[in-house]
C-alpha cells in the first residue's frame, strides 16, 4: 500500500468511523477512486457495526451485563480503529480484524 493512498484517503477513512451514515458516505465517494486505504477502514467499520448489533442483541435477550461488556469491547475497538485511521496506518483490529477483511473482501 502506498503512502499516496493513505494521504489521499485519510479524511474519508476517518469519516467512515463517525457513524453508519459516514460509512455510506465514505464508500460512495470512494467508488470512483478505488482507494484501498478507505476500503480497508470501511471493512473494519462494517465489522464494528456487526459487533455493536451483536452486543445490543445480547444485552436485550441474553444477559444485560454480558451485553454491556460486549458493548464496551466494541467501543474500545472502535476507538482503536479510529485512532489508526487518523494516524494513517493499516492496523487490523486484534482477533477479528482479519476476519472482517476476509468477510467483506468484495468491497474494493
Q: What is the pLDDT along the chain (108 residues), one digit of tens a residue?
A: 567 777 777 888 888 898 888 888 888 888 888 888 888 889 999 999 999 999 888 888 877 888 888 899 999 999 999 999 888 888 888 888 898 888 988 777
Closest CA to 7 of 44, 33, 31: 33
pTM of the model: 0.84
**CA-CA distance, 99 to 101, in Å (whole number)?**
5
8 Å CB contact between 90 and 37? yes
Phi/psi at 24 (5° precision): -65, -40
CA pair distance 53, 105, nearest whole angstrom: 21
DSSP state, residue 35: -
Amino acid at each position: 500500500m502506498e503512502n499516496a493512498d493513505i494521504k489521499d484517503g485519510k479524511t474519508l477513512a476517518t469519516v467512515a468511523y463517525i457513524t453508519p451514515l459516514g460509512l455510506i458516505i465514505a464508500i460512495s465517494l470512494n467508488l470512483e477512486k478505488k482507494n484501498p486505504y478507505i476500503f480497508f477502514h470501511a471493512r473494519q467499520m462494517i465489522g464494528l457495526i456487526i459487533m455493536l448489533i451483536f452486543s445490543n442483541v445480547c444485552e436485550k435477550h441474553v444477559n444485560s451485563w454480558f451485553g454491556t461488556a460486549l458493548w464496551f469491547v466494541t467501543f474500545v475497538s472502535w476507538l482503536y480503529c479510529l485512532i489508526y485511521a487518523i494516524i494513517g496506518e493499516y492496523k487490523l483490529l486484534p482477533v477479528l480484524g482479519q476476519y472482517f477483511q476476509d468477510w467483506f473482501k468484495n468491497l474494493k
